[in-house]
Amino acid sequence: MRQRTNRQANQNLMGNWNWGNWDWFRTRDMMVFGAGALLSLAASRVAPPFAGRAIGSLRTMAGTDPFDALAQDHQKALAMFEAIEATDNSATGRRAAMLFQLKRMLTAHALAEEDIIYPMLRDDAHRHEQAVKLYRDHAEVKVKLFELEHMAKDSPSWITELRALHHMIESHAREEEQMEFPKLRAALDESRRANLLGEVQREKSMLL
């Protein structure tokens, strides 16, 4: 059920996807930022308590929570994996281009986590060992990406290695979303959380 839901969410994301144009992300992010303040105001005035979950979804869409924004990156990356896995062995150029775009997105996301999120996880949430483990995961991902870039894209082992990386990132993202982000979110006061999204976006913008 959860898998089907994820797949549907991924398909929704992919429905708007244009592989040749990163402006889609930029335009959408700007719209999402603009909607953020309005949604927060509307939610605080009209939403009854039972709508808390829906407000969470609105917040996610509005991009007012840094951890929700990072979780959205995860969903986009996982959707990209599914799209690449749907290509056949003859689509070598397309695979190379899609892998490059995936790498670019993962690198920007990783930069924000490594420079901003993980140090706070270590110092503010006192999750030192967990932060070290997440840094190690990122290093492993970078090696795998390098290997995939340099392998023949029409080799059956290429798609096998890509799927292995997909599962690795899925597991890493689940750990962040279910264990570490909630701990850090709880450790930060509202003003620090409010500033954090801007810091994360600035860091990512250095590469996107």
Based on CB atoms, which residue is closest to Fe ion, 161 or 170? 170
Residue nearest to Fe ion (CB): 113
Rounded to a whole number of angstroms, the minimum distance from the CB of residue 180 to Fe ion is 9
The minimum distance between CB 77 and Fe ion, in angstroms, equals 8
SS3 141: helix
What is the amino acid identity at position 54? A
58 or 169: CB nearest Fe ion: 169
Minimum gap (Å) between residue 70 Cβ and Fe ion: 5
- Judged by beta carbon, residue 176 or residue 203, the one nearer Fe ion is 176
The SS3 call for residue 127 is: coil
**40 vs 75, beta carbon nearer Fe ion:** 75
Q: How far is the CB of 124 from Fe ion (least distance, A)?
A: 17
Distance CA 151, CA 148 (A): 5
Rounded Cα–Cα distance for residues 67 and 177 (Å) = 8
Cα distances (Å, whole numbers) of residue 85 to 153, 159, 187? 12, 7, 38
The C-alpha atoms of residue 182 and residue 66 are separated, in whole angstroms, by: 11
Residues that bind Fe ion (CB under 5 A): 113, 176
**Given the complex with Fe ion, which of 83 and 105 has the nearer CB atom?**
105
Residues in the chain: 208
64: which DSSP letter? -
Minimal distance, residue 85 CB to Fe ion, in Å: 20
Residue 18 half-sphere exposure toward CB, CA atoms < 13 A:
9
Q: How far is the CB of 76 from Fe ion (least distance, A)?
A: 11
For Fe ion, the closer CB: 94 or 172:
172
Listed residue (63, 37, 96, 87) closest to 196, CA to CA: 63
